[in-house]
Structure 1
């Protein structure tokens, strides 16, 4: 193990201990939000945004709604976990994927129901060529949040690459049921439908 990874592992252990310490529970709480944001729970905000996404037919407006959903997913509700996610992003940007993986493992250990921890690790596994692990993490994402269109897109892409076109088509159909105006998903579904129709003639 490199000196850098040993250093990161030590820092992660300290943060985990800090997060688990009852005396420091206050430090892990999110920063106070505006009065408007406190009127609804994260689940209520997400439900409302998903309803808007499903009925929005303008592609640009739907993209804005999708971005707001992603922002909701990114906030873990823990200052410690949010910081670790920033570190993971920095490690990925610096092409230090093994370090990023160590950090995301810690994120998942600290917050096993935090959907974006699993999703980010699924994406990283995919980038590292660990397709089986990536699909396993995607399944965890969808168990926590079945409407996670990003995870569904990742699943469809991997299924298509594996030649499982019918399953990929189903994943894109699920995606479009949640996010109907996404043009790329529409195109992917259309291409798969044509390919499958051609293979049956």
Structure 2
């Protein structure tokens, strides 16, 4: 029995630690799901507030070291030190590859460095991790417009409209891109 107890103690302890660690993530996911439902029906003023709340939730990595790297990357971007930001954010996505916000922020750093291909890649990765990340979709749509891919940009904006109908930029972007993306009637 003593051997069994000494074997089970670390397993039970690991289970308790894992449960304690995962609890906030489960609550976080439930909070985001509820906010996403509210966002679909919200008027523009409420939608902006709800979108901000969602963004705050998305910024929670659940890891102190990931949060630190995210903070350092953002601070470097704010100072205009794009190469340094990319270094911190690359360390972040290496450390926490399932944290979609790391990919989104690094995409922004790549964009500021003029590296559109890597920026698109990171936004696509963020969307694989979080298919509802409307800010990643907006970024992707913007990049698609820049590289003259109006159909892809239109589709990305359309997806944002389905998730966040009151997003201030989407309706105008869809109107602007519709002739190029869908064509015009003769």
Q: Give TM-score scaled by structure 2 length.
A: 0.83
- Give the whole-Å Cα distance in 1 for the aligned partners of 2:104 and 2:79: 19
| Number of the residue aligned with 1:53 | 39
Aligned partner of 2:75 among 68, 90, 93: 90
| Number of the residue aligned with 2:99 | 114
Contact 2:123 2:136 in 1 (8 A): yes
Deviation at 1:200, TM superposition (A): 6.0
SS at 2:166 equivalent? coil
- Give the whole-Å Cα distance in 2 for the aligned partners of 1:62 and 1:144: 23
Aligned partner of 1:42 among 28, 41, 49: 28
Deviation at 1:71, TM superposition (A): 0.3
Q: Which structure would you say has the larger Rg? A: 2
* Residues 159-170 of structure 1 aligned to structure 2 (within 5 Å): 159-170=144-155
Contact 2:151 2:180 in 1 (8 A): no
| Number of the residue aligned with 2:123 | 138
Unaligned residue ranges in structure 1 (runs of 5+)? 1-25, 31-36
Q: Once the two structures are superposed, what CA deviation does each residue of 1:42-81 show, in whole Å capped at 9, x if it has no partner?
A: 111111010000111x111100000000000111111111
| Number of the residue aligned with 2:156 | 171
Deviation at 1:194, TM superposition (A): 3.9
Distance change in 2, residues 1:45/1:99 (3 Å): same
- Give the whole-Å Cα distance in 1 for the aligned partners of 2:173 and 2:110: 23
- Give the whole-Å Cα distance in 1 for the aligned partners of 2:182 and 2:66: 46
Aligned pair count? 167
Deviation at 1:166, TM superposition (A): 1.4
Deviation at 1:184, TM superposition (A): 1.2
- Give the whole-Å Cα distance in 2 for the aligned partners of 1:194 and 1:153: 19
Unaligned residue ranges in structure 2 (runs of 5+)? 1-16
Moved more, 137-146 or 79-88: 79-88
- Give the whole-Å Cα distance in 2 for the aligned partners of 1:160 and 1:91: 27
| Number of the residue aligned with 1:100 | 85
| Number of the residue aligned with 1:185 | 170
Cα-Cα RMSD: 2.3
| Number of the residue aligned with 1:18 | none
